[in-house]
Chains A and B, each alone.
Chain A
Amino acid sequence: QSALTQPPSASGSPGQSVTISCTGTSSDVGGYDYVSWYQQHPGKAPKLMIYDVTRRPSGVPDRFSGSKSGNTASLTVSGLLAEDEADYYCSSYAGSSKPYVFGTGTTVTVL
């Protein structure tokens, strides 16, 4: 299956908010509430930031929030900090034969 579509880049000033979209189809994002978001700093492993569309793992600041409408999921980072500058990837369940599909990735820059 094709990768989920994310904008290549997004940016905001410290303290501002940035929202990243993740567009799929009714066979993945739109069909299930198993959307996750991962943060990846250069040279590091990804880190889970959001799961089940809106849930935050313990230890993840509440500045990170997730939502979904139709076939598009979104990650919002509020109150941007310099440490939020990273690549972000969405992921969704895509059915029993191909359980995982990742997004194309978005580089967030804190201006």
Chain B
Amino acid sequence: EVQLLESGGGLVQPGGSLRLSCAASGFNFNNYGMTWVRQAPGKGLEWVAVIGYSGGHINYADSVKGRFAISKDNSRNTVFLQMSSLRAEDTAVYYCAKVREEQRVGVGVDFWGQGALVTVSS
């Protein structure tokens, strides 16, 4: 059974930093890309970042480019999202999600974690 468990969310001041983690199990993590998707309160889904299975293919949404960094530790079955220069508009539930096919990036995601709430406020 695929399981994705996010951690690291919380309250942070504008301009601050936070690192989210997503621990994966139930599939061969080494062979799959991973994504982060966020959802602001009462709003729709917004893709944030994707990383390829080996960590060699990385893309970001324009809204976070230069401020967020995605990384993948295949030895720990964990994907990370390092967020810096946080703004109020980054307040959202952040979901990690598994790319549906091995060694692909843009074919869609199939399993999602339960999400981690990040609140940016003074």
**Residue B14 at the A interface, CB < 8 A?**
no
Decide if A45 touches B112 in the complex (CB within 8 Å).
yes
- Using known A-B contacts A38-B45, A102-B47, determine if residue A48 contacts B107 with beta carbons closer than 8 Å: no
Q: A5 to chain B: closest CB distance in Å?
A: 11
Q: Which residue of A lies closest to B96 (CB)?
A: A45
Q: Which residue of B lies closest to A46 (CB)?
A: B112
Which residues of chain B are within 8 angstroms of A100 by Cβ–Cβ distance? 35, 37, 47, 50, 106
**Residue A103 at the B interface, CB < 8 A?**
yes
Given contacts A34-B106, A48-B100, 14 further A-B contacts (CB under 8 A): A34-B108, A36-B108, A38-B45, A48-B110, A52-B107, A93-B108, A94-B106, A99-B47, A99-B105, A100-B50, A101-B47, A102-B45, A102-B46, A104-B44
Give chain A's interface residues, CB within 8 Å of chain B: 3, 34, 36, 38, 40, 45-48, 51-52, 57, 89, 91, 93-105
